[in-house]
Amino acid sequence: MPPKKAQPKPAASSKVAVDKSFGMKNKKGGKGQKTIATLQQQQAQAGKNKDDKAKERARELEAQRKLQEQKRQAEMAELFKPVQVAQKVPFGVDPKTILCSYFKAGHCEKGNKCKFSHDPNIERKAEKKDLYTDVRDKDETMENWDEEKLREVVMSKHGNLKTTTDIVCKHFIDAIEEAKYGFFWQCPSGDDCKYRHALPPGFVLKSQRKKDEEDEKKQEISLEEFLEVERHKIKGELTPVTADSFAEWKKNRMNQKDAEADLIRKTKQATASAGRTTGMSGRDLFELSPLHYEDSDEEDDGEDFDLARYRRETEDERDRAEKARIEALGGSVASIHIT
């Protein structure tokens, strides 16, 4: 084989990048530094056309705009940042089951160290089944049937719907009382249970009623405690109540009541004596003027009424009247006694 020909070497570029700022970088002074920056900028723009320069300039402006926007948002967030108050957790509840209120607002400072959940779906996961809604109410009903479905049900032997009622299922109530009701609870009567699986509005469970009664009993105070509380509300210098002081107060009170009753009686008596009876009761009139209410009926003559004699006289009179009627008809009767 003939020897290979030597490949021609590419011609060396005649243009060599020359650093025009060589020897000037160590110079001090603002004027020298400006000159260096200008030379470097001119050297960077060398060999580029106008379109490339315009695109590069646009990218720089966009980067500067984004940087300024980020700074502005950071300043606004720092300016209007609310004071974080400790979020309260109910007793016995895991904080990880509660959504962080500051994370929800978008400015939780604790991050992964926050004891509350940062999962937006945590509220849906912790949602409980509604006790006042029957999920079967959303099932298909006769209102949504078409003609074909209706004909199929009518012709079917076992297609008739069961009679429903508003009575609440006892198994449903027992499950709630025993804390067994949930998304996976199944009624012992099956899915075709005709009773409702929802509590009516205002329904109170036995356990809840018992708990409310216990709470009310705990809040009640005895009569002694009530009197003690009211006694402490009274301010000023007071006289302690003893057996002697109470007996003296009671005696004075009874004397005062007797004096008031005597004054009222004398006033009524003077009014009745003057012939004015307005505003007086019948008892007052009878007690103050008994002469006006004496019995004015005539006294009896002393003869008692004989009911047996009156009955005999009446029967004899009726017998005589009957005899006269018979004689007028032309008959004769020896003796007639009508009872």
Exposure b/e, 304-335, CB count within 10 A at least 16 = b: eeeeeeeeeeeeeeeeeeebeeeeeeeeeeee
pLDDT of residue 141: 60
pLDDT digit string, tens, across residues 117-169: 888 777 665 556 666 676 666 555 666 677 777 777 666 655 445 556 778 88
Out of 154-158, 311-315, 330-334, the most confident range is: 311-315
Q: What per-residue confidence (pLDDT) applies to 260?
A: 92
Residue 187 gets the label, from left (phi > 0), alpha (psi -120 to 50) or beta, of beta
Gap between the terminal Cα atoms of the chain: 179
Cα 183 from chain centre = 25
Burial category of 168 from C-beta neighbours within 10 Å (exposed 0-12, middle 13-18, buried 19 and up)? middle
CA distances in angstroms from 293 to 271, 276, 280, 289, 329, listed in the order given: 18, 16, 15, 8, 61
User: 93 or 246: whose pLDDT is higher?
Assistant: 246
Domain boundaries, the chain: 51-78, 82-127, 135-210
Task: Characterize 267-297 residue by residue with b for buried, 16 or more Cβ atoms within 10 angstroms of its Cβ, and e for exposed.
Answer: ebeebbeeeeeeeeeeebeeebeeeeeeeee
Pair 171, 187: CB distance under 8 Å: yes
Tell me if residue 117 falls in helix, strand or coil.
strand
Cα–Cα nearest to 115, from 148, 149, 86, 77? 86
Mean pLDDT of the chain: 75
* Dihedral pair phi/psi, residue 228, rounded to 5°: -65, -40
Q: What is the pLDDT of residue 333?
A: 47
Angle formed at CA 272 by CA 268 and CA 278, multiple of 5 degrees = 80
Q: pLDDT band for 335, please (50, 70, 90 cuts).
A: very low
Q: What is residue 62's predicted lDDT score, i.e. its pLDDT?
A: 93
Cα Rg, the chain, nearest whole Å = 57
Positive or negative torsion for Cα 203, 208, 214, 218:
negative
Residue 117 β-bridge partners: 99
Compute the distance between CA of residue 44 and CA of residue 50 in angstroms, rounded to an integer. 13
Q: How many beta carbons lie within 10 A of that of residue 37, not counting itself?
A: 11
